């Protein structure tokens, strides 16, 4: 209730400079008291408007009833309306210069009507009692270079669903129900974070939340803003971090949204060669306009400060960096140097990441950037973009191309698995097997694997083992940890019934064991940014499609040796060269009965002997099964 009931000169100045980082506390709709009357203070930025009024259920949507005041040339309109209460629906009725009336949802609204309705709803965000102080304090110590991070990517509307009660009830879980179910699953599996798709308000379920109309509103599909706060609070109390997908690259053309907001391009570039994405049919934010940059940077801070979010995964970064992204010759405008780099977007990222990471120690900013743009995770002062982490799309592409191959042909593509280690330290990476890889006829992860029946499961276990052993944080999309057969669809829940079948349960057991091992051994994460963290034992055993490597711990204790066989041929006396004449303790064997194999851990300790192998003076022999994975500690 302590909101400013007036836009001041300082507010105007900071907003005009693009540095009003709490602008969301001013613009939008805020419950408060003015001259001893309770009501709601409305404010909106509409620089090209002829006039603006507030319409809602409180004034019968009459555009003449509550006309806003604009007392300067910036286009900031404001009005206090005493009769409005929390829960009321409203829009801004904007009279364009042409005289056309535009009924727009509030860009800064904190809550919206449930789709297909698209009005904004008054809500008071003050007064929630957080109880996650232990997590928030510990978060400040999180070191992206040295700490473990395994992410479970989730689409809340289709993770689990209640039976539908007809078209008007899609069976969504409420944020509170979801908090309990999801926290239980994530803890049991051993992930450290969840990454949520589609939380900001969006009109169309099929966009998965990547075409946003309400940047400041958690979607009403799953409940109220307070329900969403409960969700984050509950996951934090269960020691689980929450990352949101965030979409500053583009927005849809829906009539109630940001497109041509006041009858002219306001949030988007005016030139359609810069302001439209031909591939997606969407508008591109104008990163050269201070008020637009302010809208986005304050939005990132809003989720972190008002909802205690632990990080943002920034979608479609490449589409922002390149002026010719998805455009043919003649469809784009070069920058002042005749190049295809969007200099304004580059400056925006540096500003964004400097402010967010500077203000919030332990928060992460993650770039989904699909090209070889240099220094995405480099410091802005050194010419970098300033992100904490970058999705490793190159690794993902090569990994999936290799894993899809019939094992006979893998020997001709051996380098596909080793190439990523040559650039693993050029950025701080997240290895991702995301939702994008299991839709649009790309097959589910299990169905990408060659062979029939159990062979598919053995291949996938070998694949996931390499992912855990390879430098970089980890991300796996929901359903892939138990071998979902169907491609993902936002319209139905995951095929949880598959866990009643033995091979799916065994795959899930194996992924759980991998995640447990990942968190337990610093060798698998504490040296991710140090090229000394990985050493190949044999990167060139192409004829047998076997890979062996060491992950070194920073302390030199509990180092791990990985041996992975990508063919259905068993090597009963496989000899591996080792760096030291030590005892090697078998800590993970993919062929144990709980994972679907028939090999019991009879021998767990293997002593290296003085016998040359893999160019090393010491080695030991181990019976390596078909598609076998063995991890040894030394």
pLDDT in tens, 579-615: 999 999 999 999 999 998 887 766 789 999 999 999 9
Q: Report the C-alpha dihedral over residues 593, 597, 600, 605, rounded to 10 degrees.
A: -120
Question: Does pLDDT of 177 surpass 60?
Answer: yes
Mean pLDDT across the stretch 552-573? 96
For the chain, domains (ranges, CATH) are: 9-121 (2.60.40.10), 531-633 (2.60.40.1180)
Question: Does pLDDT of 1 surpass 70?
Answer: no
Measured CA to CA, the distance from residue 127 to residue 274 in angstroms comes to 42
pLDDT at 597: 86
Tokens standing for residue 417: 């698995």
pLDDT at 600: 72
Tokens standing for residue 286: 């104008």
Question: Does pLDDT of 82 surpass 90?
Answer: yes
Tokens standing for residue 384: 């970098």
Query: Are β-strands 28-34 and 37-45 bridged in parallel, bridged antiparallel, or unpaired?
Result: antiparallel
> What secondary structure letter does DSSP report for 324?
T
Measured CA to CA, the distance from residue 491 to residue 310 in angstroms comes to 28
Active site residue 315: yes
Lowest-confidence region among 38-52, 165-179, 194-208, 460-474: 165-179
Residue 350: pLDDT band by 50, 70, 90 thresholds? very high
Measured CA to CA, the distance from residue 524 to residue 561 in angstroms comes to 11
- pLDDT single digits (tens) 200-213: 999 988 898 899 99
Mean pLDDT across the stretch 537-545? 97
Instruction: Label residue 440 left, alpha or beta by phi (over 0 means left) and psi (-120 to 50 means alpha).
Output: left
Per cent of the chain over pLDDT 70 is 99
Active site residue 368: yes
Active-site residue (options: 132, 315, 344, 528) = 315
Active-site residue (options: 153, 260, 368, 481) = 368
- CA-based diameter of the chain, in Å? 91
- pLDDT single digits (tens) 293-310: 999 999 999 999 999 999
pLDDT at 169: 78
Tokens standing for residue 110: 């904190």
Tokens standing for residue 291: 């008020």
What interhelical angle do 343-359 and 290-306 show, nearest 10?
30
pLDDT at 4: 55
pLDDT at 2: 45
- pLDDT single digits (tens) 404-426: 999 999 999 999 999 999 999 99
């Amino acid at each position: 209730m302590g909101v400013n009931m007036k836009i001041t000169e300082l507010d105007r100045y900071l907003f005009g400079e693009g540095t009003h980082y709490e602008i969301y506390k001013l613009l939008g709709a805020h419950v408060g008291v003015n001259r001893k009357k309770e009501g709601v203070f409305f404010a909106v930025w509409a620089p090209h408007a002829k006039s603006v009024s507030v319409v809602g259920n409180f004034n019968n949507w009459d555009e003449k009833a509550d006309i806003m005041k604009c007392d300067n040339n910036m286009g900031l309109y404001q009005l206090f309306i005493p009769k409005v209460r929390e829960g009321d629906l409203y829009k801004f009725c904007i009279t364009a210069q042409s005289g056309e009336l535009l009924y727009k949802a509030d860009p800064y609204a904190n809550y919206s009507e449930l789709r297909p309705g698209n009005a904004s709803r008054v809500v008071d965000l003050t007064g929630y009692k957080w109880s996650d102080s232990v997590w928030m304090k510990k978060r400040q110590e999180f070191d992206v270079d040295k700490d473990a991070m395994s992410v479970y990517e989730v689409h809340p509307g289709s993770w689990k669903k209640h039976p539908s009660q007809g078209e008007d009830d899609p069976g969504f879980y409420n944020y509170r129900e979801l908090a309990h179910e999801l926290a239980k699953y994530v803890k049991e599996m051993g992930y450290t974070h969840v990454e949520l798709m589609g939380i900001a308000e969006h009109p169309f379920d099929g966009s998965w939340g990547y075409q946003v109309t309400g940047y400041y509103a958690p979607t009403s599909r799953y409940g109220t803003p307070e329900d969403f706060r409960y969700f984050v609070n509950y996951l934090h109390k269960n020691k689980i971090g929450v990352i949101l997908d965030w979409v500053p690259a583009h927005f849809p053309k829906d009539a109630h949204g940001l497109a041509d907001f006041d009858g002219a391009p306001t949030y988007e570039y005016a030139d359609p060669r810069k302001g439209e994405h031909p591939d997606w049919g969407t508008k591109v934010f104008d990163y050269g306009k201070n008020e637009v940059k302010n809208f986005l940077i304050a939005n990132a801070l809003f989720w972190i400060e008002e909802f205690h979010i632990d990080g943002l995964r920034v979608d479609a970064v490449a589409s922002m960096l390149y002026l010719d992204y998805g455009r043919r010759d003649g469809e784009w405008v070069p920058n002042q140097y005749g190049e295809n780099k969007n200099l304004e977007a580059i400056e925006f990222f540096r500003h964004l990441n400097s402010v967010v990471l500077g203000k919030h120690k332990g928060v992460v900013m993650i770039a989904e950037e699909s090209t070889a743009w240099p220094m995405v995770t480099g410091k802005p002062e050194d010419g970098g973009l300033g992100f904490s982490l970058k999705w490793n799309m190159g690794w993902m592409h090569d990994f999936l191309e290799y894993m899809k191959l019939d094992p006979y042909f893998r020997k001709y593509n051996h380098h596909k698995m080793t190439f990523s280690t040559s650039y693993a330290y050029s950025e701080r990476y997240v290895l991702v097997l995301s939702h994008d890889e299991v839709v649009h006829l790309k097959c589910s992860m299990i169905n990408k694997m060659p062979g029939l029946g159990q062979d598919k499961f053995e291949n996938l276990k070998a694949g996931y083992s390499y992912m855990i052993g390879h430098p970089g944080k980890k991300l796996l999309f929901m359903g892939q940890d138990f071998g979902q057969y169907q491609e993902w669809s936002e319209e139905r829940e995951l095929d949880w019934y598959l866990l009643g079948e033995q091979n799916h349960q065994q795959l899930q057991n194996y992924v759980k064991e991998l995640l447990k091992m990942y968190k337990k051994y610093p060798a698998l994460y504490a040296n991710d940014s140090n090229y000394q963290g990985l050493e190949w034992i044999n990167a060139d055993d192409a004829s047998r499609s076997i890979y062996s490597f060491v992950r070194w711990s920073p302390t030199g204790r509990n180092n791990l040796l990985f041996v992975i066989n990508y063919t259905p041929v068993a090597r009963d006396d496989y000899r591996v060269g080792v760096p030291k004449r030590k005892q090697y303790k078998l800590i993970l064997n993919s062929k144990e009965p709980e994972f679907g194999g028939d090999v019991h851990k009879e021998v767990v300790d293997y002593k290296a002997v003085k016998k040359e192998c893999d160019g090393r003076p010491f080695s030991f022999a181990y019976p390596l099964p078909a598609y076998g994975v063995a991890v040894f500690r030394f």
